[in-house]
Amino acid sequence: MDNLLIILPAFIFTIALLVAIHEYGHFWVARKLNVKVLRFSIGFGTPIYRFNGKKDNTEFVLASIPLGGYVKMLDEREGDVAEDELHRAFNRQSVYSRFAIVFAGPFVNFIFAIFAFWLMFVIGVQGVKPIMGNLESSSIAYQSGLRSGDQIVSVDGDETPTLSAVYEELLEAFLDRKTATLKLSDQRDIVFRFDKVDKSVEPTSLHDIIGLSLELPVEDVIISEVTPDSPAQKAGIKTGDQITAIDGRVINHWRELVASVIKRPGHTVEIEVLRDGQHQLLSTTIGSAKKGSQTIGRIGVRPESVSPLPKSMYAIHQYGIFAAIPKGFEKTWDLSVLTLKMLGRIVIGEASIKNISGPITIAEVAGQSAKRGIESFLRFLAIVSLSLGVINLLPIPMLDGGHLLFYLVEMVKGSPVSDTVQEIGLKIGVTLLVMLMSIALYNDFTRLLE
């Protein structure tokens, strides 16, 4: 219930804000080009609040279903237009004016994303420093030359003061299956090669494949609770036991235990415990559980205590007011390109359609990011805004990009696209959007039920 009280307002605020920004782009340019705007609506369905503006008596509406919005302009194709207002009808404008009005919606989504990223960098994003702990010998990190104690300071020339920044920079190289150069604090260069990673491997597996591991303070893992009928209980683990190793790998912190278990569901392992001053080897098969679309390992134990990480392990990814401006542009560009690449991979079958998310997943992420703090929520708003911008620019009829495609054709051939072609395009666009929403909702409900 507490989560719902955060998720629902965060979701409504996110969608209403980003829809308002998108539609305001259409509205503002239409007004500047002297096109009469009849209605500006945030949401669909029954109006819950409305008022009329002074100019043109434009009706501003807040509707009950906050999953979209629209700007309705004077248009002869949608009703009769008075003779003295024909020059203000949308359909009477030049193709360049119509293009500008339609393009303005996605454009302001990108502008807002730049602003949100700028503000996020000015506030600063806190994260753990990318100082390596024990690395598995099978991981890309170890095989590339990274060792315990190494600190990553940049990836391909971009500063990475936090571990999350490292993963963000590595994602593009992973998607393109190319190399990435990591600069370490001792000025050594380490090259990660993703060209040999199978293209069917999803981006959600990035963490496991790379295998970066934090250097953690030593803290005994004392078990305070063993879940009945769990793999841990079947192995003979008891309350008060100290887990010291798994398959010979020393465990010095609860996070190391979690990392060793979570990625090996179904694996049989040897767990070394310290009990009454004596070391014992116990064997068990790691259980499995669903976390979103992933299957993770669990053994069914809880620690006696887990101390928060020391402040010395944290860094702030932050820039000054002016230095953050190009970073905002850079982040928006990089993530826009990544979005297009992911869509392309889905279309050609190199990525699963399970990566497509709908309103339920957006609501969950909105709530989670809102709980983490303002910088996390700003990042979420920026990503959703630029995603709206990218998707709306796709050349699919019904979307802004479909209209823009028709206008580009009109510019080339000197006359509008025929009504027949537009009607066929509209039917195709509706079909594609219905299919896309169906997949997104199916994925959402599947994640909920897992």
Q: Which residues are catalytic?
A: 23
Q: With CA atoms as reference, report the closest residue to 24 among 81, 87, 107.
A: 107
Non-local CB neighbours of 75 within 8 Å, separated by 6+ positions:
81, 89, 90, 91
DSSP 116-160: HHHHHHHH-EEEE--BB----TTSHHHHTT--TT-BEEEETTEE-
Tokens linked to 363: 């609501």
Specify which residues 296 forms β-bridges with: 289
Tokens linked to 38: 């009849």
Evaluated on CA atoms 435, 438, 444, 447, the torsion sign reads: negative
What does DSSP say about strands 294-298 and 37-52: parallel, antiparallel, or unpaired? unpaired
Non-local CB neighbours of 442 within 8 Å, separated by 6+ positions:
none
Q: Are 298 and 92 in contact (CB under 8 A)?
A: no
Q: Are 66 and 16 in contact (CB under 8 A)?
A: yes
| Residue labelled with tokens 């190009």 | 326
Q: With CA atoms as reference, report the closest residue to 237 among 222, 219, 250.
A: 222
Specify which residues 86 forms β-bridges with: none
Residue 79 backbone zone (phi > 0: left; psi -120 to 50: alpha; other: beta): left
Evaluated on CA atoms 305, 308, 313, 318, the torsion sign reads: positive
Q: With CA atoms as reference, report the closest residue to 91 among 168, 36, 53.
A: 36
d(CA 258, CA 182): 26
What does DSSP say about strands 301-303 and 59-73: parallel, antiparallel, or unpaired? unpaired
